[in-house]
Amino acid sequence: MKSPLVYLTLTKLKNQLIGVVKSPAKLAYGVFLIAIFALSAFSGKSMEVEELRNPQELTAILTIFYTFMFLMVFSTGSASNTPMFTLSDVTLLFPAPLSSNKILSYGLARQLGLSLVLGFFILFQYSWMNSLYGVTYGGLLLIIIGYALCLFFAQLAAMAVYTRTSGKENASKTIRYCLIGVVVLYVAWAAFTCRNDLITLANGGSYEPLLASGSAFLSTLPGILFPVSGWSAGLVSAIAAGNWPLVGLFAGLLIVLFGVLLGLILTCKNNYYEDVLQTAETAQSAITAQKEGQLNEVVPKNVRVGKSGLGKGWGASAIYYKHRVENRRSGVLLISNMSLLFCVIILVFSFFMREEGIVPVFAFATYMQLFSVALGRFNRELIKPYIYLIPEPPLKKLLYALKESLLTDAMEALVLFVIVGLVMGASPVEIVFCVLARISFALLFTAGNVLVERVFGMVSSKALIFLFYFLALLLMAVPGIVLAVVLSVVVPVFTVAVALAGMAAVNVVIGVLVLWLCRNLLQYAELNNK
């Protein structure tokens, strides 16, 4: 007889596939993603380089990326318990005549599947990884599996900590701080070991000796002892290199860790059923609110209220000061956690692209920026009735609704490219125009977001809206990119600066024009089907 949990899993997968086939919006979105990946794969094959870069660079990038993702997922999950079960799972499975071990195994298998899905965006990095490091399709799959393993173990570790410290907030915080402390000590240990090469790099020397010494450090006992992220990256690299003894070592470490974490969860005596139920209810409320367009219905648990009231602002300007208060209460000072993640990825990428110039780094940063702007708060404002009731011109309300995000993007651009410029040894002129071009793309992408909401606001499918968003941004970015390419060929002096300046000017003109054409967006809620 087939296990009820296996039947449940297969039925869910079947229904999801049927839903995609029967929904034109989801089907179109899926075809669009496949087309983008095919384009990325084709461009990767068409790009030829004289010599592939050192694969140790990619291993170092993966280790840093895996570590950052592990820490972020673990810190969030151990604090609030990531929803391993849906509300229907808690309602139907927990009272069912099934052992807790089987239910937990189902939840863990489901989380591993979600981790694989979350790694889907790595597929779109195939182009540059293939052209620079010779990564094949099989290697790309290994990288995704390593990413999924890292996220899975982060969620599993968070679950273990949560079940053991349920109702003990101080204990949970202590464990998270200890983990961060271990990472800091490990980084300090690695820096001390490679101190001579770091000094050489700081004095303008090559990074190759530092890369070699860092790789040697990771291949010794200290490196092997670095948990989860180091093991995942080492496993991926060992399989790609055919080093089967190391494959067995890293796989064995992960298996042992899995057994330890699973044992901690299964032997826990704390009754965390009510906490899991509360988490599932909160997650379900968020999903329901999102489907209904009420994105602000679920309030985060950890909000620092502080002083109440805006303190400043009158009329349309109150929207801007409201955004500042929301940032302060959610703990966001300059940039969000997602933007911070993107900045870290860009900085790591710039370190390994020092010899290639700042243009590839800027292109990669713009590519990442496209996703960060898509996650802005402007869309959430459209569902709130008060923004339409403010007795101010709609254009003025629109500009104040965008002001906070544009200022944040400008600050992010300044900090990011000053650091990138120093790392790459770029000239002050190039740094300035990189900052200006970055800000111009923030304006352009924000205007594209407004355009999609103005034209396609009546469309209920979020997947279709996202598809329109990407298509609109690609079309709006083409004129500036074409002008930059032409200027880089025609102008022999300050080529990079002139190309970036021309592209920034075109982006600003297009962005301002789009905002002007969409100036009546906040006139009536009916325009957006709100």
Say if residues 180 and 173 touch (Cβ distance below 8 Å): no
DSSP 263: H
pLDDT at 342: 77
Take residue 307 and report the two structure tokens written for it.
């002083």
CA max distance for the chain: 76
Q: What is the pLDDT of residue 298?
A: 43
HEC string of 48-78? CCCCCCCHHHHHHHHHHHHHHHHHHHHHHHH
What are the extents of the domains in the chain?
Answer: 25-285, 317-528
Contact 257, 342 (CB under 8 A): no
**pLDDT computed for residue 5 by the predictor:** 77
What pLDDT sits at residue 293? 46
Pair of tokens at residue 1: 């007889």
Hey, what are 243's tokens? Answer: 């080093």
Coil, helix or strand at residue 302: coil
Mean pLDDT (10-residue bins), the chain, 530 residues = 73 77 66 66 55 73 79 66 65 74 70 65 73 80 85 81 70 76 82 80 70 67 71 82 84 89 74 60 58 46 55 78 76 66 79 77 84 64 74 86 86 88 84 91 89 72 69 87 86 79 92 89 62
The string of DSSP codes covering 424-454 is HT--HHHHHHHHHHHHHHHHHHHHHHHHHHH
DSSP three-state, residue 457: coil
CA distances for 447 relative to 55, 176, 412, 471, 513, angstroms: 40, 40, 18, 13, 9
In 10 A of CB 388, how many CB atoms?
18
**Taking the CB of residue 438, how many other CB atoms lie within 10 A of it?**
22
- Which pLDDT score, from 0 to 100, does residue 126 have? 74
Torsion sign across C-alpha atoms 147, 149, 150, 155: positive
